[in-house]
Every structure is written in structure tokens, then in C-alpha cells.
């Protein structure tokens, strides 16, 4: 790669999904210079809800009221699960730091306590999660109290149906009602998109007209739920205007992916890491990664930067995700790690990847494939030793976890990023002192 620009940093983060964002954020907060490579990963598809640990054991589908109480059981029964390697005080600190950064970027979350919360989904099921955006929290409270509640949707918005939610939940929540209204200004538009409505509601006039349509429908409702379209970049302001205008708590319910809350989360994380000086290469990918001796530097060659770019880093955090993020790829025979070809923990043969039944409660073994690590979050080579002294791995690329079934996607990303960045700091400080 002759002629490519050369950049130097303390830590290069490969990946900009939830784990890569958390790693870049924590690295910058610890005073490390950081270059981050990769696009938004799964964040765009996320609901804005930050899962921590909802289900354990997976096969029993046991739901936990407190993720912190679930942790000791996880550590006892699945000691290799990455979340079991992080202590509770570190997880508290990681979440606090993460949501404070989101808050400062304009995306506020309700107070994080010791317990999970239960929230409505767009199909009327109930989801166990941990971090709930402030615009959604009144829904968790209304669901808990089963108080009289009005759900409103908009004609033409296909990704959300209030009547379906009421049909699914109504027998367990008798005071739940729904009404459909026209979205002001879009009466002649056959099909509506959530992101367009969210942007439209950032104008005061559209807000006022929407509130005026809903107010006469309130009846005995003590809370009103909407699809998650209450603003894109200024959701706090739009949500507050709806509560003031309607005089009752208002909440959003995430729509199907890609959803407005996913867009908000991605926007807020991009703003948060940029504000902390992280140099983002969001159109780029790492084409090659090489190491210069054990205590030396890593060299990353990037694609997708005009003219090419070469990054020299004292440490590297790999947050490249699984199959969707492309951190892992699978051919007919086996699962591979895509940048360095590091060994991947996986079932012995392809026949063992999946159960016969797709909905088998114990999940599929291939969904626990990933990198094995040592106690310092360093991926292991074929000899079972750290592949390189300053290569760390975080998030869903790690082995021994099925984040989708455990409902631990964001918690896994945030907690492992926190712990690994702690190791990066120790490693780099140690080398500076020696
Ligand atoms: C549909 C859906 C819904 C979800 N809903 C929720 C939810 O409600 N609550 C929750 O907590 N979590 C949710 N999640 C999970 C969460 O958003 C994360 O996807 C998950 O935690 C995995 O994050 P990750 O950062 O490990 O990997 P990914 O999100 O997969 O990110 C991988 C990153 O690596 C980058 N990358 C890969 N290879 C390279 C390379 N060679 N060079 C540079 N970059 C590279 C990709 O560009 C990407 O940025 C959801 C995910 C999906 C897909």
C-alpha cells in the first residue's frame, strides 16, 4: 500500500456496532487516542432498548427480574460466558458511563437501577430489557399497572399496528384501547415511513395538529402510546411537547427494524465518540492487520478511504461481530474469523451447527461460535496462547454466548468493552512505565 496516508493512535477499534462504539467511547474517556473503523453494524436494527441479561438458562427460558441476580447463576453454570467474566460493579460503571454519554448527545435513558423492565413490542408481545429510553418508559409503567391506556397509530404506517397490540394483549389488559388517526399533512399519502413522520413531528405545527387530533380520544386513558416516531434528533423535546399537550404520560413503542430508535441510537453514539475525539472511518474496512513483534505496533491497512490509509496502533480492539457484522464467515465446512483467520470455537462438524427444530428452546450451537479469549480479553491462537499481546476482542464475536436468546446484546457489548479497555489501559501504561 505505497502512498497511503499513515495515521498513528493508541488504540484502533475495528467495528462500529454496539461493542465497537462502546470500546471507542471508553477508550477516549480513558484518555487514549483512538481510530475507529467500520459502519454502524447491528445498531440500525436495534430497538433502542439496552438488553443486559434477560434469560438464563436459555433452554428453560427463565426470565430474570434482576440481571444482577442472574449474573451469579450465569457465572456458576456458564463460567466461560463473556458476561460471567465481568464483575457487577464494572458492569454498573460501564452502563452508567454509556448512558451518560448518550444523554449528553441528546438521547436520554430512564434511570438504570438493579432490575430489568418489561416493555411492549410492536406485535403485542412483552420484552424483558434493561435500559429504556425516556420516551418509552411510561409504557413500562403502564404495562406494570395495567392502567387504562390509549394506543394511537397512523393510517398508512405499515410497520406498526395498535389494533394488533390490543388484540394480543387485550384479555390481560382490559383498559387497553386503540385508535387510528390520519397523520397531519400526509392525508393523501398512501404509505407512510416512520423516519419521515419522526422528522415531521420536529416541527411545532405538525406536533400541535397531532396533539389536537389525539386529545378528544383520551377518555379515561392515564397514558398514551404511539409508534416510535416522536422526533428523530430531538426526541426529548417532541416527547415533552406531547406530554404537555395531552396532559398524561406519553410513551413510544419501537416499530419493526430498521426503526427510528435505532437511527437515534446510532446518531447519538456517532456524536458521542466524535465529541470525544475518536477519529471515525465509518466508510472503511480493515483489509489487513499485522503485528510488529509482541511489544511493537499493529499496522492496519484500510479499504474505503480515498487513496488508502495505513494506521499504526499500540493496541487493537476487535469488535467485528458475528455473521451479520462479518467478523465471522462460514463456508460449507467451518466458521472462520475474517481478518486474521484466528481459530474459532465451533461445533465439531457442520451437522452439529443447528438443532432439527428451528425454535428449539436450547438454541443452535453455531450461535455460540466465536473467539476464545484469555483472562485479559485477548483472542487465543491455535496453541491456546494470546494471538498478540495487545490484540483484544469484545462483543458478539466472543464465544460461549447466544446474545439473542439470552437477551444480552447491549450488555455483552458494553460490559466486555469496558473490561477490555481497562486491560488496554493497563497494558499501555505498563509498557510506558517499563
Ligand atoms: C435486528 C436486531 C435487533 C436488535 N435489537 C436489540 C435490542 O433490542 N436490544 C439490544 O440490547 N440489542 C439489540 N441488538 C443487538 C445489538 O445491537 C448488537 O447488534 C449486538 O450487541 C452485536 O454487536 P457487535 O458490536 O458485537 O457486532 P455488530 O453490530 O455486528 O458490529 C460489527 C461491526 O464490525 C464491523 N466490521 C466487521 N468486519 C470489519 C472489517 N474487516 N473492517 C472494519 N469493520 C469491520 C462492521 O462494520 C460493524 O461495524 C439487535 C441486533 C439486531 C441485529
Instruction: Specify the pTM.
Output: 0.95
Q: Is the CB of 316 under 6 A from ligand 1?
A: no
Section 264-284 average pLDDT: 97
The most distant pair of C-alpha atoms in the chain lies apart, rounded to whole Å, by: 71
Beta strands in 254-349 (DSSP E): 279-281, 285-291, 298-303, 309-318, 328-330, 335-337
CB 189 within 8 A of CB 158: no
Q: Compute, in angstroms, the gap from residue 325 CA to the centroid of ligand 1.
A: 6
Q: Compute, in angstroms, the gap from residue 185 CA to the centroid of ligand 1.
A: 36
Q: Is the CB of 288 under 6 A from ligand 1?
A: no
- Per-residue pLDDT reduced to its tens digit, 369-428: 999 999 999 999 999 999 999 999 999 999 999 999 999 999 999 999 999 999 999 999
Q: Compute, in angstroms, the gap from residue 338 CA to the centroid of ligand 1.
A: 15
Please compute, for residue 79, the number of CA atoms within 13 A of its CA located in the half-sphere on the CB side: 3
- State the burial class of residue 362 (Cβ atoms within 10 Å of its Cβ: 0-12, 13-18, 19+): middle
Per-residue pLDDT, 125: 93
Looking from the CA of residue 18, the nearest atom of ligand 1 is 25
CB 330 within 8 A of CB 354: no
Comparing 5-14, 69-78, 351-360, which segment has the lowest mean pLDDT?
Answer: 351-360
The chain-wide mean pLDDT, for the chain, equals 94
Eight-class DSSP state of 157: B
- Per-residue pLDDT reduced to its tens digit, 98-114: 999 999 999 999 999 99
Per-residue pLDDT, 1: 57
Amino acid at each position: 500500500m505505497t502512498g497511503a496516508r499513515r495515521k498513528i493512535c493508541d488504540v484502533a477499534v475495528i467495528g462500529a456496532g454496539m461493542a465497537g462504539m462502546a470500546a471507542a467511547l471508553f477508550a477516549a474517556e480513558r484518555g487514549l487516542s483512538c481510530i475507529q473503523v467500520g459502519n454502524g453494524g447491528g445498531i440500525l436494527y436495534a430497538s433502542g432498548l439496552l438488553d443486559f441479561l434477560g434469560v438464563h438458562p436459555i433452554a428453560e427460558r427463565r426470565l430474570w427480574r434482576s440481571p444482577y441476580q442472574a449474573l451469579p447463576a450465569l457465572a456458576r453454570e456458564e463460567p466461560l460466558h463473556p458476561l460471567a467474566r465481568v464483575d457487577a460493579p464494572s458492569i454498573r460503571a460501564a452502563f452508567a458511563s454509556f448512558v451518560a454519554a448518550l444523554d449528553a448527545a441528546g438521547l436520554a435513558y430512564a434511570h438504570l437501577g438493579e432490575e430489568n423492565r418489561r416493555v411492549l413490542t410492536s406485535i403485542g408481545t412483552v420484552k424483558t430489557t434493561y435500559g429504556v429510553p425516556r420516551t418509552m418508559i411510561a409504557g413500562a409503567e403502564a404495562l406494570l399497572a395495567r392502567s387504562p391506556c390509549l394506543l394511537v397509530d397512523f393510517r398508512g404506517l405499515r410497520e406498526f399496528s395498535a389494533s394488533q397490540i390490543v388484540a394480543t394483549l387485550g384479555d390481560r389488559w382490559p383498559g387497553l384501547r386503540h385508535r387510528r388517526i390520519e397523520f397531519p399533512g400526509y392525508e393523501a399519502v398512501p404509505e407512510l415511513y416512520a423516519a419521515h413522520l419522526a422528522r415531521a413531528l420536529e416541527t411545532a405545527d405538525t406536533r400541535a395538529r397531532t396533539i389536537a387530533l389525539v386529545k378528544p380520544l383520551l377518555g379515561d386513558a392515564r397514558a398514551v402510546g404511539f409508534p416510535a416516531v416522536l422526533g428523530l434528533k430531538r426526541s426529548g423535546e417532541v416527547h415533552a411537547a406531547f406530554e404537555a399537550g395531552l396532559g398524561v404520560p406519553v410513551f413510544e413503542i419501537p416499530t419493526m427494524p430498521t426503526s427510528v430508535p435505532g437511527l437515534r441510537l446510532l446518531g447519538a453514539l456517532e456524536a458521542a465518540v466524535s465529541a470525544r475525539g475518536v477519529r471515525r472511518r465509518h466508510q472503511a474496512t480493515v483489509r489487513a492487520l499485522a503485528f510488529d513483534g509482541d511489544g511493537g505496533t499493529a499496522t492496519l491497512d484500510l479499504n474505503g478511504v480515498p487513496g488508502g490509509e495505513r494506521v499504526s496502533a499500540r493496541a487493537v480492539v476487535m469488535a467485528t461481530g458475528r455473521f451479520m457484522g462479518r467478523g465471522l464467515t462460514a463456508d460449507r465446512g467451518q466458521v472462520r474469523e475474517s481478518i486474521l483467520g484466528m481459530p474459532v470455537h465451533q461445533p465439531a462438524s457442520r451437522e452439529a451447527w443447528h438443532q432439527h427444530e428451528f425454535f428449539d428452546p436450547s438454541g443452535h450451537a453455531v450461535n455460540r461460535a466465536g473467539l476464545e479469549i484469555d483472562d485479559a480479553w485477548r483472542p487465543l491462537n491455535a496453541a491456546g496462547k494470546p494471538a498478540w499481546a495487545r490484540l483484544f476482542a469484545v462483543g458478539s464475536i466472543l464465544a460461549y454466548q447466544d446474545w439473542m436468546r439470552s437477551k444480552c446484546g447491549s450488555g455483552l457489548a458494553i460490559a466486555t468493552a469496558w473490561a477490555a479497555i481497562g486491560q488496554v489501559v493497563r497494558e499501555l501504561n505498563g509498557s510506558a512505565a517499563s
